[in-house]
Amino acid sequence: MSTTAVRAEAPARDTLAQTALSLPSRAVAVFSGPLGLALKILLLALVNGIAVWAAIVLADAGKWPAFAVLAVTTLALDAAYLVRRALPLKFLLPGTLLMLAFQVIPIFYTVNVAFTNYSTGHILAKNEAVEGIQLNSLAPLENAKSYLMAPARDADGNLVLLLVDEATGDTFVGTREALTPIERDKVQVDELGVAGAEGYTLVTGPGLVAIDRELTAYTVPTDGAAAIRPEGLGVASELAPTLRYDAARDRFVRISDGVVFTDNDRGSFAAASGEELEPGWKTSIGFSNFSRIAKSPLVRDPFLRVFVWTFAFAFLAVLLSFVLGLLLAIALDKPGMRLQRSYRTLLVLPYAIPGFLSLLVWQGLLNDDFGVVNRVTGLDVPWLFDSNWAKVSVILVSVWLTFPYFFLISLGALQSIPAELTEAARVDGGGPWQVFRRVTLPLLLIVVAPLMIASFAFNFNNFGNIYFLTGGGPASSDQTTAGDTDILISYTYKLAFASGKGQDYGLASGVALIIFFIVATISSLAFWRTNALENIR
């Protein structure tokens, strides 16, 4: 009965395959004619048009390295499509370019960041930071005055500030040289501020945009280093620097007590006491991030526990998903089963729902006081609040999310195993278990094992599952900052974005690099092992 069913199915598959195969060849036939040529020219011209546009934008912004990359890429693309001998490049080049753009460049970027101090307080370039420190360290004097202000031009067209002391109502004209009192009745003030003055023309409307840079740098010296500075267009304040920048020696000196802040080679001006000026700047700091990782109790204390759990999590999630997926695939591979399609569709559903959604739903379902799972079953299991149960929950939910993937793959792989092989094994007297163990499984593993390794690597870094389900919690009993379900990548997130002073991209990239080497080592070992499977062929 079963054999006839298989035979009846076989021709149908063939026709399907034939149609599928003939489609591209028919397409090729259509596109190699004049229509194809026209399309090719059109698309290539489009690419070149976009490239020219981009080149102008890049040149305009002075981004010359990007400009060079663009020019080389575009010429290479043109050559690949216009030179006859370069035909294979047609297929290689776009793929290579995409790989460069989405794989190689991010990796280079991560490696680069791992050797810098890129983090909160170290974002700008050094000259920008110096500027920032100078601005931030301006302070109002003891009884500093604040003024209503309006920018104006005097009879000679020079920019001056019309000033009204907010406290006393005294009126002044401020220039780059000095503050000069003028008679009160010469200045008109209304509810919006200074409205005009005799002998001066106010700068208004579009004129304000034109003088913005000049006004930003405008200072009216008053007393020593103190100066009146425009703070907007209607207000000016008297501010004095508290730090003096010594450009020649590249250092700041605090005026009040003479403390010297020098470049500490880690992207900050720091005093001998360790006090740092803010902002700092982004700079290369060599292997500091890695030595911090090695020395920090934040990393050292929980590392082994987190590493073991990461490994266990990734391994169990993949193994259980595979076993469950395979069992279901075997069960549903039975030919002639009723409602087979509906079952298959139902089983693929968890895979079809966006993962983070299911994770959040599961988080609600598993709440031990209010969740559906405990309420319906009458259990009192602390799914997410007990260390061990939380680990079980994380694995169970991960299995729920991944088994459809292995189900689909196993189903496909099972169908690709020739029926003759299993039949021959049966004829030779093998029982169902022996047939499965000695024939089906090894053949299946050839297909599935590399995917399992990929899935393991993915789960090793499965940030989403942990973050959305438990957030790494519950808090660990060993009193370290890593939670009990934190895996390396979710703990990295906590280290880099929820400790210290906020974001620490440098440290995060450093840990990411280390994780990359761990995953790469494990994966390559595993691939090397599975090569042995190939010998079965």
Partner 1 sequence: MSRRTAFGALIVVAMLAMIAAALPASAAVSSGAAPGGTLRIWTDKDRRADIDRIAKAWGARRGVTVEVVEKGFGDIRDQLKTVQPATAPDVIIGAHDWTGQLAADGLVLPLSPSAATRKQFPKYALDAFSYGSTVKRLYGAPVALENVGLVVNTRLAAVPKTWAALERAALAFKNRNPDNLAIAVPQAPAGDAYHMYPFFSGLGGFVFGKNRAGNLNPRNIGVANTTFLKNASMIDRWDRLGLINSKVNYDTAKNAFLKGQAAFWITGPWEADTLKQSGLRFRIVQLPKIKFRSVPFLGVQGFMVTRYANTHGVGTLAKDLVASYIMTASSQRALAAANGRFPANLTAGKQVRDTVLAQFGRAGQGGVPMPNIPQMSSVWEELGGAWLKSTNGTATNARPTFQTAARNIRTKIG
131: helix, strand or coil:
helix
Q: How far is the CB of 239 from partner 1 (least distance, A)?
A: 7
Binding letters toward partner 1, positions 379-418, x by CB under 8 A: -----xx---------------------------------
Radius of gyration of the chain (CA): 35
d(CA 86, CA 77): 10
Triad 402, 99, 41: Cα angle to 5°: 120
Task: State which of residues 35, 79, 475, 536 lies at the interface with partner 1 (CB under 8 A).
Answer: 475
Nearer to partner 1, 128 or 198 (CB): 128
Candidate ranges 309-317, 339-347, 406-414, 501-509; the one touching partner 1 (CB under 8 A): 501-509
Residue 61 engages partner 1 in binding (rule: CB under 8 A): yes
- Secondary structure in 3-state letters for 311-337: HHHHHHHHHHHHHHHHHHHHHHCCCCC
Q: How far is the CB of 393 from partner 1 (least distance, A)?
A: 11
Nearer to partner 1, 440 or 470 (CB): 470
Residue 106 engages partner 1 in binding (rule: CB under 8 A): no
Task: State which of residues 9, 231, 250, 265 lies at the interface with partner 1 (CB under 8 A).
Answer: 231
Residue 295 engages partner 1 in binding (rule: CB under 8 A): no
Nearer to partner 1, 253 or 533 (CB): 253
Candidate ranges 180-188, 232-240, 394-402, 508-516; the one touching partner 1 (CB under 8 A): 232-240
Task: State which of residues 243, 314, 425, 466 lies at the interface with partner 1 (CB under 8 A).
Answer: 243
- Going by their DSSP bridges, the two strands 201-202 and 146-153 should be labelled as antiparallel
* Nearest Cα to Cα of residue 395 among 475, 309, 325: 309
Helices (H) and strands (E) counted in the chain, each on its own, are 19, 15
Residues 357-376 that bind partner 1 (CB under 8 A): 363-364, 367-370
Residue 124 engages partner 1 in binding (rule: CB under 8 A): yes
Cis preceding-peptide flag for 279 (omega within 30 of 0): yes
Long-range pairs for 307-313: beta carbons < 8 A, 24 or more residues apart: 307/488, 309/391, 309/484, 309/485, 309/486, 309/487, 310/460, 310/487, 310/488, 311/460, 313/391, 313/394, 313/395, 313/398, 313/459, 313/462, 313/485, 313/487
Tokens of 84: 């006859």
Binding footprint of partner 1, residue count (CB under 8 A) = 88
Residues 165-194 that bind partner 1 (CB under 8 A): 166-167
Task: State which of residues 18, 136, 340, 521 lies at the interface with partner 1 (CB under 8 A).
Answer: 136
Residues 189-228 that bind partner 1 (CB under 8 A): 204-209, 212-213, 215-216
d(CA 175, CA 180): 8
* Nearest Cα to Cα of residue 255 among 245, 263, 268: 245
Residue 120 engages partner 1 in binding (rule: CB under 8 A): yes
Task: State which of residues 239, 317, 347, 513 lies at the interface with partner 1 (CB under 8 A).
Answer: 239
